[in-house]
Amino acid sequence: MKKFLTPPIFFLFPIISLAQPKIISGPMLGAVELRDAKVWVEVSQEVKTVSLQYNKVSDLKNVKTISYKGELGNEFNPICFTIGGLDMNSTYRYRFLINGKPVSQTGEFTTKDLWQWRKSPPDFSFLTGSCAYFNQPEYDRPGKPYGGDSSIFETMAKEKSAFMVWLGDEWYTREVDYYSEWGLWYRASHDKAMPVLQNFWKAMPQYAMWDDHDYGPNDIGKYYILKDVSREIWKRYWCNPSYGENGQGTYTMLSWGDADIFLTDDRWWRSADRMKDSVDGKPNPEKRMLGKQQMEWLRNSLLYSSATFKIIAMGSQVLNPVSPFDKLSRFPVEYDELMNFLMDNKINGVVFLTGDRHHSEIIKVDRPGTYSLYDVTASPLTSGTHSFGGAEKNNPYRILGIDEKQNYTKVSFSGKRGERKLTVNFYGIKGEPFGEWSISEKDLKTPKE
C-alpha cells in the first residue's frame, strides 16, 4: 500500500509568503506649515520597515531620510510622518522606502510663505465638500447604488488650490461596521485606498472634520459606544494640526493667508436629535451639539483671531431657518450662545461653511444692527442627491442653490489689503461651473457707532 503525503499544510506557508509588501493608500499630504509638513501613507501587513526620503527641488544632493519608529505588521497600518526644519516658501520632493527599497509612490509640497509684516495677504483658494460614498454592493442597501461618479476626485486633483477641507462624511460606515471595532478600521482603510482618490491625496494638503457617517451610525452622537475607537481611527487616518483637547473631540483650526478656518466637531458632545429643544417654553440646557469645552475653545479662538475672514466649519447647517433637518438652531442654547457672542463681541468676518445636506446652497440671515451672516453648504461629492422640496423648495433665505447634482466647492480670497474679497464657486463632476457668489470684507464688518 502506497503512502501519500498530504500537501495542504506544507504548501500553505509558501503561498502566504508571496504577498508583497507595499503602500496600499497614499501618499497623502496633511498639514503643511512654514517649516514643517506632514505626509501620510498606509502600508500592508507584510511591511517591516518604512522610511521617507526628501529633498528641496533646488538641492538634489542634500537628501534626508526619516525612518518610522512605530509599530508595523498589523492588519491596518496608517502612518504619518512629520518633516521638520524646512525652509519657508520652498518646494520639496519626497519618496518612500519599503523594506529598504524605493517604491513608485512619490510627491511634492510647498511650504507656506512668511508674508505677515512683510507684504500684502496672498491670494489663494481652497477646495471643499462633503459626503463621499463609494459603492460596495455586498454591504450596501438594495436598489439603486447610492454612490455616484467618483471621477470628480480626478477633476479636483487638477485644481491649483492651496488645500482641501473635508466637511464630514469622508467615508460611510455601513450596518456591518457600526458596532465592530474591526469594521470601523476596515471602512476607513478601504475607502481611503480607492484608486480614484490617490492622485487627489497628494495633490494638496488635506484637512478634515467628521460628521455622523465617518464617526459611526447615521445621526448618532455622544452616546455611541465605540466613540473612543472612532476618535483613535480618525487621528490615525488624517494628519490634522490637532484633535480636540484633553483626549476629547476632534476639533482643530488652520490659518492660511488672512483666513482662519475653525473645524468643529458636531458629534462627540452631541445630544440625541430627538431630545426636546425646549422645556417649559425655554431652551433645553441639556441639549447640546458642540459641548461646553468646544464652545469655550471656539469663543476664545474667535476673540484671538485677527484674520480678515473667520470661517466656522460644521458638519450640520447653522443658519437655515426653514430646514426640517438637523442644524445648530435645533440646539437653541448653543445657537443663542454663539449668535449673542458674535454680536456682543463684534466679531467681524464670520462666514459659516457646512456640509451634510446632499445639496449645495448659500443661506443669508440678516441681523438687525450689524452685518448679515452667510452659511455656505457644500454637498455632495459622490453620495446621493435630491431635489429642493417642501418648505425648502422656495427657501426665502437661499441666495444660491444647487440640487440634483454632484459638486465640489472652491473658496477663493483675493484683493488688496483692506479690500479683500471672498468668492465661492460651485463646480460639477468634470469642472463645469454651477454658480458663483462673492462678498467683500467690508460687508462682513460691524458698523461703526
**Element at 259 (helix H, strand E):** strand 259-263
- Which residues have C-beta within 8 Å of that of residue 193, sequence separation ≥ 6? 24, 25, 42
CB 268 within 8 A of CB 291: yes
Residues of the chain with pLDDT under 70: 1-18
Q: Are residues 357 and 414 in the same domain?
A: yes
Residue 324 φ/ψ, nearest 5 degrees: -85, 0
pLDDT for 19 = 81
Alpha carbon 162 to chain centroid, angstroms: 14
The answer to whether 224 touches 230, Cβ cutoff 8 Å, is yes
Q: Are strands 360-367 and 398-402 parallel, antiparallel or unpaired?
A: antiparallel
Return the CATH number at 179.
Answer: 3.60.21.70
The reply to whether 138 and 43 lie within a common domain is no
Whether 248 and 208 map to the same domain: the answer is yes
Q: Is 294 a domain residue?
A: yes
Residue type, 398: R
Does 412 share its domain with 359? yes
Q: Are residues 250 and 307 in the same domain?
A: yes
Residues 206 and 355 in one domain: yes
According to DSSP, the residues that pair with 439 across neighbouring strands are 422
- pTM here? 0.95
217 φψ region: left (φ > 0), alpha (ψ -120 to 50), beta (else): beta
Does residue 105 share a domain with residue 168?
A: no
Q: The domain that contains 93 carries what CATH number?
A: 2.60.40.10
Among 85, 110, 135, identify where a domain stops: 110
What pLDDT, on the 0 to 100 scale, is given for residue 449?
77
Q: Where are the beta strands (DSSP E) in 167-226?
A: 206-208
**209 and 294 together in one domain:** yes
Domain match, 371 and 226 both: yes
Q: Are residues 145 and 287 in the same domain?
A: yes
* Cβ atoms 393, 401 nearer than 8 A: no
Same domain for 169 and 66? no
**Continuous segment of H or E residues that includes residue 25:** strand 23-32
What Cα–Cα distance (Å) separates residue 106 from each residue in 39, 157, 306? Answer: 11, 15, 37
| 211 found inside a domain | yes
Domain membership of residue 166 (yes or no) is yes
Give the count of domains, the chain.
Answer: 2
Domain that holds residue 84: 16-110
Q: For residues 185 and 128, give the distance between their C-alpha atoms in angstroms, rounded to a whole number.
A: 24
> What span, in angstroms and rounded, lies between the C-alpha atoms of 213 and 227?
12
> Residue 333: which of 343, 325, 341 has the closest Cα?
341
DSSP-derived 3-state class of residue 187: helix
Which value, in Å, is the radius of gyration of the alpha carbons in the chain?
23
Examine residue 10 and state whether it is found in any structural domain, yes or no: no
Pairing label, strands 77-83, 64-67: unpaired
Residue 18 has what pLDDT? 64
Domain annotation covers residue 420: yes
